Amino acid sequence: MIVKRSIVILLIIVFVFMSVSCSNSNATSKEPNEKDNSENQPEIKERTLTIWQATLGGGGADLEKPEDEWVYTKLCRMFEEINPGLTIISEYLDNVAAQSKIKAAILAGNAPDIVNTASGYRVTDLKDIYIDISEMIPQRDRNDIFGWSTVAENMDEKNAIYGYPAGGIEIGMLYYNKKLTEQAGVDMLSLKTADDFFIAMRQIQDSGIQPIISSSWGGNYGWLFTFCAWMLQEIPVERIFSNGFGQTKFSEDTAFINSLKLQAQLFDEGLLNKDYATLEDAMGEFYAGNAACTTMGNWDLQNAYDIMGDDVDFIILPDVRSGCAFPGATSGGPGQALCVLNTSKDPQLAVDFLSFVSSRDSTIMLLSEGSAALPKRTDVSAADLGWTGIAILEKQFKYKDKAVVWPDNCLQEEMLNEFLKQME
């Protein structure tokens, strides 16, 4: 009995010892697993993306609101949410101010990752400070976004691409007050040629109404927005490029000279306001009913509709002559660019952001909250933007393929400055 009891006690001791050992063993084996699980958690990397931008969705209307209510600010916050650890610093600068500051900022070591600039040759002029992002752009963006030539070297999308077209597609046009033109007995939609246009403007003048009111803004912007159509209807864009490179001469470009002569004739006859060079608020005068027409682009259509309702409409300038080379052509296209600097520490992140703000959903956000510029994407319709049933906003889609180019964006910077100086 004593032996059996001793064996039972020994077995109990062995069992207890084994249980404790197993327990300790399990505890020990658990610690590495718990440590491994924590190591498998992705580490949030703190990153910063700095942007100088002027592509506000409201076409400038956002500036009247607190910055955290700007459409662009909302998009920045949304991109931060899908990229934990990212902070976007966005500073508003118009693209002229940004271009004048950018080289100094690079030398000082505080340049942004992305900068807003005018499109076209302004991009080429600064190509030494931008990075070629051709290989980083998603193919879907290349397929669905219009205007890659405007952000490419020498405006050829087969060359290096330094950024994304920004904003929307702008179109140069002539706004008119339907009440005033009808009062003068003029049907603006029936005008076919420049001769018809002059006859109509004289008829409006004879009725006691100022036909056209506009402003040079120090660089003959009435011509750049509207009257340059009479040049673009006669010559290919390549001729403007060659003029800009000095391979051909503006002084020998008969289409260019004729478009300026026609505008000068409007001025000489009083069909264009005599204070054109000094007037500060031509649009305000037009909205007040002090003129039948004004020179402008589609970026202000929403504002015009909000103020005048169905009393406002627009036309593309009638053809300079019957049988012109490019009937219906007018100025336009993407006028802005967002370019990636070669000093950026994370250019792929910068491209990802540009792709995000250029997406279909972002484009709808940007354009539906104030700006009437046409979407730069092929997959956004008037219905997507809430423009269905608003005739003046829907109508502009008809002219999307007629917006040839902004002539000033085809010029190298030095020539552009001289060009605008000579046209004051």
For 72-106, what is each residue's pLDDT tens digit? 889 999 999 999 999 999 988 876 777 778 888 88
- Burial label for 182, CB within 10 Å (0-12, 13-18, 19+), is middle
Q: Residues 89, 90, 93, 95: is their CA dihedral positive or negative? A: positive
Work out the mean pLDDT of the chain and round it to a whole number: 85
**Best CA proximity match to 173, nearest among 409, 403, 377:** 403
- Are 338 and 53 in contact by the 8 Å Cβ rule? The answer is yes
The whole-angstrom separation of Cα 393 and Cα 399 is 11
- The arithmetic mean of pLDDT across residues 60-79, rounded, is 82
Put simply, whether the predicted model's pTM sits higher than 0.85 gets the answer no
Q: How confident is the model at residue 359 (pLDDT cuts 50, 70, 90)?
A: very high
Q: How confident is the model at residue 417 (pLDDT cuts 50, 70, 90)?
A: low
**Residue reference for tokens 């390549």:** 238
Instruction: Give the CA distances from residue 169 to residues 22, 317, 369, in Å, rounded to whole numbers and listed in that order.
Output: 73, 18, 16
Is the fold of 47-169+334-394 the same as that of 171-332? yes
Instruction: Give the CA distances from residue 91 to residues 53, 109, 163, 346, 390, in Å, rounded to whole numbers and listed in that order.
Output: 6, 17, 18, 19, 34
**Residue reference for tokens 């059996």:** 4
Which helix (H) or strand (E) segment holds residue 419: the answer is helix 413-422
Q: Does domain 47-169+334-394 have CATH number 2.40.50.140?
A: no
**Residue reference for tokens 């999307």:** 400
Q: CA torsion 16→22→28→32, rounded to 10°?
A: -160
Q: CA torsion 154→157→163→168, rounded to 10°?
A: 100
- The arithmetic mean of pLDDT across residues 356-366, rounded, is 93
Tell me which amino acid residue 85 is: G
The whole-angstrom separation of Cα 215 and Cα 318 is 21
Task: List alpha helices for 246-396, DSSP H.
Answer: 254-268, 282-287, 301-308, 347-357, 360-368, 391-395
Q: With 90 as the cut, is the pLDDT of residue 373 above it?
A: no
The whole-angstrom separation of Cα 191 and Cα 318 is 6
Looking at 59-68, 189-198, 358-367, which range is the least confident one?
59-68
Q: Residues 112, 113, 119, 125: is their CA dihedral positive or negative? A: positive
- Are 293 and 177 in contact by the 8 Å Cβ rule? The answer is yes
Q: How confident is the model at residue 64 (pLDDT cuts 50, 70, 90)?
A: confident
The whole-angstrom separation of Cα 372 and Cα 350 is 27
Q: Report helix, strand or coil for 146.
A: coil
The pLDDT of residue 2 is 40
The whole-angstrom separation of Cα 162 and Cα 153 is 8
The whole-angstrom separation of Cα 195 and Cα 197 is 5
Tell me which amino acid residue 208 is: G
Q: CA torsion 295→301→307→312, rounded to 10°?
A: 70
The whole-angstrom separation of Cα 302 and Cα 81 is 31
Ranked by mean pLDDT, the top range of 138-142, 155-159, 334-338, 403-407 is 138-142
Return the percentage of the chain with pLDDT > 70, whole number.
Answer: 84
The CATH T-level fold of domain 171-332 is: D-Maltodextrin-Binding Protein; domain 2 (3.40.190)
The whole-angstrom separation of Cα 341 and Cα 51 is 10
Q: Taking the domains of the chain in order of start, what are their residue ranges?
A: 47-169+334-394, 171-332
For 213-282, the DSSP string reads E---TTTTHHIIIIITHHHHTTS-HHHHHHHHHTSS-GGG-HHHHHHHHHHHHHHHTTSB-TTTTT-S-H
- Are 63 and 56 in contact by the 8 Å Cβ rule? The answer is yes
Q: Report helix, strand or coil for 321.
A: coil
**Best CA proximity match to 240, nearest among 414, 123, 231:** 231
DSSP class of residue 12 equals: H
Each residue's pLDDT tens digit, 200-217:
999 999 999 999 999 998
The whole-angstrom separation of Cα 203 and Cα 190 is 14
Alpha carbon 288 to chain centroid, angstroms: 29
Q: How confident is the model at residue 152 (pLDDT cuts 50, 70, 90)?
A: very high
Each residue's pLDDT tens digit, 258-306:
999 999 999 999 999 999 999 999 999 999 999 999 999 998 998 999 9
